[in-house]
Chains A and B, each alone.
Chain A
């Protein structure tokens, strides 16, 4: 009996405390750090509100605030328009080539943010941008028609990177919609477009609002585009301001903390409202139930128009960025495609990247961090989901919310708070790969808990009880019944987390050291050094690694558990 109790309580209590530690400590330390006059350990540190005064009484702060909001709103609206249009075309219309669209829509998702940013710089830079040069030549213009180094350019680059998320979320809500409500409107004599306006859109409104909030939060916490485009263009937002406060010499941790708290409050508010909104829509969704085959609208000849627009989007969002990355990765020096350059195609960039002194370390670290954080997050959240969904242990809801907190923490803010945590606590991992691992686990825990809970809910309670009545202990039941049954969700979550951790930049950039360099940092450094062709080669390798990992995970998952 003793052993039974122990294995269970040790695991359950251990996981709960770990989540509390991961989610709680950074918050506390961030607030603490923002009211200290000097970093921990330095003599003479005292409590102060000087950091906030310095931040808020700077005229630049309000410019910063305004820029951040403009940037986030713009990103949110543009990505929403693209993603929703594609989701609607794909789920609800008879537009030709739908299957192809599904694949195309998700490709930008697998391209790390830093790479898509670089791709857009290479396409839209006034000096070297491919599109600019082509259009200029074709129309005989004096100057470049587009400029990536502007608010509009930044919004465009970010929105193209983020729209796959809108596509996924909106597809889900189109799919869950009870189309009999629409059919009722049609039979009542209203036309297809009146129905869309009067019935479909109002029904989708809560879901749409939720998605808009998510995209706003994503926009406000974005780092890659503001860092690579915004900094040279002198357009600052919160994330880059925090980054610069720490990267200047000497670092101003206190000021970074004050900015970070402000940013945290904005994104936290967004997440809170989002949760309120979706709680209601989820309830709505369960009432109508799933398994609907959504009614497909026959667009008639218009289907060629939607098809054309979709292809145009893919040309811009997928084909051109992928092309420019591939092209640049095979040429010896950066230049626009031409016959002369084509003759010089070479693998030298790949060779350089692979023999770069830090390359091996970066590949190894990124791979280990990606696999490690994805595995640990999914195991941890599987246990947490069991507690919150299956057990009658009190405090389950609290634990669920706790694991979800980091979603409101922009990567750069998490980085700042973890600096405080590990400069303060006597845990000697600052500057090692371990601090990155903890950071990734914290950051991606919310995605894990979402995926694990959703799958856990679908597991019939009796499957677990049958193991208990067969004599299985809690641990045996968890390992032999629950985990295998969770496997489809586990693998899906694992793939997602391993992808986003492999491309993580905004947290890593504050926490890495020479020995704990990761691929995204290496790409950032190469870019800063002006070595464009090398960055592109590295990017292509990263994407290949991601695809390989996803394929292997699916294969393994199918072997261990039930195939979907």
Chain B
């Protein structure tokens, strides 16, 4: 992709908080390119540095190292000593608390970005009317801000972020303060809204379901580092890193050793304590090296009879089976390993049943056994 198509470019961002002994390294060299017009999500467990990265883009934090450009214009560069203050960056931001000013009406809140630039009254009125319509709040102009519901406050925050047509919209966990039902509904609305106004949007969330549902691209972050970037599909079904596989959705991990990498349409082969598996290797594996096999619960086929094929087949005992309506969620013991498997609800499962498992080779991802340094197992197992 040509460079000018990236709306936001973040290069090698490093950020420390605190002084001396309490100094913590929060961003450890984050580089990202965000395509124009896309809805781009920072996803990661809380405390991994998503908000900090977003605030660096907004200019609310000053990074220690690195550079940031918006729309081709450098807004921050540690090396060149460039720092464009927040109010001069072409951005709109929706805060986690929404930050609706309680001393103003809906109209005054939304009009604020225009008022302070001394846009004339008629234009303000027109423009505010337009954005309130976009977010579905027309008619509420004169309502005092404290009299709004959570969902309405959020729409006001959106309208305010949109009103002076920023190049980039920054959203920090915008749904985390809503109740579960509304959250579900707002996902669709945000996605539709972003399509309609077509503004490059950076969306921060720790909720993987939200990220999958809403994003064009997702940047997975962990402990101040960028782990992997991809679209929701790629990241879910073909993750390249162990952390991605475990953080997005559920997965089963079986450690082993690469026997051969395979090639073209031929799968590789991985030797584990449960036998040898055909699998699709991720980049960075090499024959003879350690790897971990990742397969999602819904990609394991359960059979009561021994199947014809023998490749990627395991024998196990049902330990626990929970009926979920649309599926059984089972724990199946294979030797000393417990695998999580989701099966079709027609296939009745009872604890103690002997079953055969088929691990579809196309869904078996071989990933590097260890991600980058500084990651601990407890974070991975989430």
Contacts and interface: CB of A to CB of B under 8 A. Distances in A.
A-B complex is real = yes
A74 to B, nearest CB: 47
B117 A463 contact: no
A18 interface: no
Interface in A474-519: 476, 480-481, 484-485, 487
Contacts of B60: 465, 468-469
A462 interface: yes
A471 B93 contact: no
B172 to A, nearest CB: 9
Contact of A463 (B84, B85, B86, B99): B99
Contacts of A562: 102-103, 146
Interface string B81-107: 000111111011101110101110000
B112 A485 contact: no
A4 interface: yes
B93 A472 contact: no
A470 B112 contact: yes
Nearest to A467: B112
A466 interface: yes
Contacts of A469: 58, 60, 86-87, 89, 91-93, 161, 170
A479 to B, nearest CB: 10
B1 interface: no
Interface residues of B, number: 29
B116 A476 contact: yes
Contact of A460 (B84, B99, B103, B112): B99
Interface in B87-144: 87-89, 91-93, 95-97, 99, 101-103, 112-113, 116-117
B143 to A, nearest CB: 14
B103 A466 contact: no
A96 B129 CA distance: 55
A471 to B, nearest CB: 5
Contact of A462 (B87, B96, B164): B96
A485 B92 contact: no
Contacts of A471: 87-88, 113, 116-117, 164
Contacts of B117: 471
Contacts of A467: 101, 112
B171 to A, nearest CB: 11
Contact of A485 (B95, B101, B113, B157): B101
A48 B50 CA distance: 65
A561 B145 CA distance: 13
A147 interface: no
Interface string A521-563: 0000000000000000000000000000000000000000110
B94 to A, nearest CB: 9
B317 to A, nearest CB: 51
B177 to A, nearest CB: 12
Given A472-B87, A476-B116, A465 B95 contact: yes
A472 B103 contact: no
B113 A463 contact: no
A470 B170 CA distance: 12
Contacts of B170: 469
Interface in B51-74: 58-60
B101 A463 contact: yes
A92 B112 CA distance: 46
B257 interface: no
Contact of B95 (A1, A462, A472, A480): A462
A542 B101 CA distance: 39
A473 interface: yes
Nearest to A463: B99
B112 A480 contact: yes
B160 interface: yes
Contact of B99 (A462, A473, A480, A487): A462
A93 B107 CA distance: 47
Contacts of A463: 99, 101
Contacts of A484: 101, 103
A101 to B, nearest CB: 32
Nearest to B97: A462
A326 B12 CA distance: 77
Interface in A194-226: none
B88 A472 contact: no
Given A1-B88, A472-B87, A473-B87, A465 B99 contact: yes
Nearest to B102: A562
Given A460-B99, A485-B102, A465 B86 contact: yes
Given A484-B103, A487-B103, A470 B85 contact: no
Contacts of B59: 468
A561 B88 contact: no
Interface in B168-185: 170
Contacts of B164: 470-471
Contacts of A465: 58, 60, 86, 93, 95, 99
Question: Which of A465, A466, A476 has the largest number of chain B CB atoms within 10 A?
Answer: A466
A466 B55 CA distance: 12
Contacts of B92: 469-470
B356 to A, nearest CB: 55
Interface of A: 1, 4, 460, 462-463, 465-473, 476, 480-481, 484-485, 487, 561-562
28 contacts: A4-B87, A460-B99, A462-B96, A462-B99, A463-B101, A465-B86, A466-B95, A466-B101, A469-B58, A469-B60, A469-B86, A470-B92, A470-B112, A470-B164, A471-B87, A471-B113, A471-B116, A471-B117, A472-B87, A481-B101, A484-B101, A484-B103, A485-B101, A485-B102, A487-B103, A562-B102, A562-B103, A562-B146
The 6 A-B pairs with the shortest beta carbon distances in the complex, nearest first, are: A466-B99, A470-B113, A469-B93, A462-B99, A468-B86, A462-B95
Given A1-B88, A460-B97, 14 more contacts: A1-B84, A460-B99, A466-B93, A466-B99, A468-B59, A468-B87, A469-B86, A469-B161, A470-B87, A471-B117, A472-B87, A473-B116, A481-B101, A487-B103
